[in-house]
Amino acid sequence: MTASITTLTGGELMLDQRLKRRRSTVFYMKVHDTATNRLAGFLADITTSGMKLVSEEPLALGATYRLQLDLPDTVTEPRVIDLKAKTVWSRYEESFGFYDIGLEFLEISENGRQTIENPLAEYLFYE
C-alpha cells in the first residue's frame, strides 16, 4: 500500500491510500461518456478499481458515468472496455490547463479487468 496527500481544487486535502499499484499508459487512450457520446478525457493511469483522466472539462464530483475506454489498434480483443464509474476527486492543473480527475469503478466487465491485470498488457501500461 502507498500513501500520499494531495491538495484538491478549493484547498481540500485528500489522503491517498492505494491498495493497488497504478499503471500509467503508454498510449493516449480516449475515454468517452456513452450517455452523451462526448469525450470525457484521456486515460492517465489505471488500476482494476479506478482510473485517472486528464480532461479539458471537469466531471461533477460524486456523479456516476457510463464510460468506454478505447484501446489502441494493437489490441485485438477487447477493443473497448465498458465501465460504470463515480468521480471521487478532481484537481485543476493551472500550469497545464487541464483537470486531473479520479474515478472509482462501480462496474467493469471481467474481460476489462483481465485486460488491465494481464501481464501481457505491459505494452499498454507501465508501473
Question: 14: pLDDT confidence band, cut at 50, 70 and 90?
Answer: very low
Residue bearing the bigger pLDDT, 75 or 89:
89
Nine-digit cell string for 122: 505491459
Q: Which residues of 78-96 are buried (b: 16+ CB within 10 A; e: fewer)?
A: eebbebebbbebbbeeeee
Alpha carbons 64 and 52: distance in angstroms, whole number: 15
Q: Is the pLDDT of residue 10 over 60?
A: no
Alpha carbons 59 and 14: distance in angstroms, whole number: 17
Q: Is the pLDDT of residue 59 over 50?
A: yes
- Sign of the Cα torsion 57, 106, 42, 18 reads positive
The C-alpha angle 1, 22, 115, rounded to 5 degrees, equals: 125
Q: Is the pLDDT of residue 101 over 60?
A: yes
Which of 41, 104, 101 lies closest to 68, judged by CA? 41
Domains along the chain? Answer: 23-116 (2.40.10.220)
Owner of C-alpha cell 484521456: 42
Burial (Cβ within 10 Å: 0-12, 13-18, ≥19) of residue 40: buried
